[in-house]
Structure 1
Amino acid sequence: MKKIEIYTDGSCLNNPGFGGWAYILSYKGHIKEGFGSEANTTNNRMELKALIEALKVLKEPCEISLFTDSELLAKSVNEWIFKWIKTNFKGKKNVDLWQEYIKLSQIHSIKAFWVKAHNGHKENERCDFLARNEALKLQNSME
């Protein structure tokens, strides 16, 4: 299995509001970036959307190290998702995205790692910039 790193971030202006997401895929020195935006969303949806969009790019099963500044995303991927599946997501938010994540993640081995935001982590800073920029571009286009 290929070992890859995924870095993600989500941004939301006014939460809920205009949101942006971004990811960086890294494999043996090769880098791929992706980003996008949505209106009327939340930061948690954008964090998860970034991961989903990164997984969509992968063409074969991979061993993934996920780096995120969202403790919620890291703990959800590593621990909580398994209980949520058993309880059919009772009382949980963003079920549509979590179900999409489950579908896309089944062929991969994923371990999430939390990184402190705005702490000089190069890839996290880049994702933060891209996600926020997408949210701002969408907001400006709607004014």
Structure 2
Amino acid sequence: MGNELKHVAIYTDGACIGNPGSGGYGIVMLYDKYRKEISGGFRLTTNNRMEIMAAIIGIRTLKQKCTVTLYSDSQYLVDAIMKGWAKQWQVNNWRRNKKQIAINFDLWEQLLELCTQHEVEFTWVRGHAGNPENERCDRLAVMAAQQKDLPADTGYEHKLTPSLPLFE
């Protein structure tokens, strides 16, 4: 009976001042009576990258295997995981189809790996609709994007591309 996993609610949001532009992410983690807020940013990135980064940082913060409900106002993030798009892109060597490489594959790869370490369900919430935790994440993300001397989002700035097979 004592082996039940702890349930953690993670609210996430990403923001970008310009897109691309300086970006930030905000996270609110709730477990029992505990609350943790996390934020950070990058000097040049995109809104979608910050949405994914928020999920990565939130899940990576967990110190033991948990069941997680991750709330995001990014339909892109929620659908890519819950509808299996990101897993399919990974199976196809980060290609969406024969001509298009999956954007943000460096972050999807990290997120998919983290999701194997926990039981994670992604749930979409309407942004700017009065959900207090989502609103707090938005404020954290915007404040982070406004900071001075933000680090580089190397995955974005270096325009990483997946290694392609020698032949198909």
TM-score range, shorter chain: over 0.9
User: How far off its partner does 1:82 sit?
Assistant: 2.3
Partner-residue secondary structure (3-state), 2:37? strand
Residue in 1 aligned with 2:127? 117
Structure 2 unmatched runs, 5+: 96-100, 151-168
Supply the distance in 2 between the matched residues of 1:138 and 1:69 (Cα, whole angstroms): 26
Structure 1 unmatched runs, 5+: none
User: How far off its partner does 1:40 sit?
Assistant: 1.1
User: How far off its partner does 1:81 sit?
Assistant: 2.0
Supply the distance in 2 between the matched residues of 1:6 and 1:94 (Cα, whole angstroms): 21
Partner-residue secondary structure (3-state), 1:138? coil
- The answer as to whether partners of 2:13 and 2:137 remain within 8 angstroms in 1 is yes
The 5 A counterparts of 1:1-143 are 1-79=5-83, 80-90=85-95, 91-138=101-148
Structure 1 runs (4+) deviating above 3 angstroms are: none
Pair 1:26–1:114, CA change in 2 (3 A): same
Deviation string, structure 1 residues 65-102 (Cα, Å, up to 9, x no partner): 11000000111121222212221211101111111112
Supply the distance in 2 between the matched residues of 1:125 and 1:139 (Cα, whole angstroms): 25
Task: Count matched residues.
Answer: 140
User: How far off its partner does 1:104 sit?
Assistant: 1.9
**TM-score normalized by the length of structure 2:** 0.79
Supply the distance in 1 between the matched residues of 2:148 and 2:82 (Cα, whole angstroms): 32
User: How far off its partner does 1:135 sit?
Assistant: 0.7
For the aligned residues, what is the CA RMSD? 1.4
User: How far off its partner does 1:60 sit?
Assistant: 1.1
User: How far off its partner does 1:103 sit?
Assistant: 2.1
- The answer as to whether partners of 1:22 and 1:130 remain within 8 angstroms in 2 is yes
Point out the structure with max Rg over C-alpha. Answer: 2
Pair 1:17–1:139, CA change in 2 (3 A): farther
Amino acid at match of 1:43: N
**TM-score normalized by the length of structure 1:** 0.93
- The answer as to whether partners of 1:65 and 1:113 remain within 8 angstroms in 2 is yes
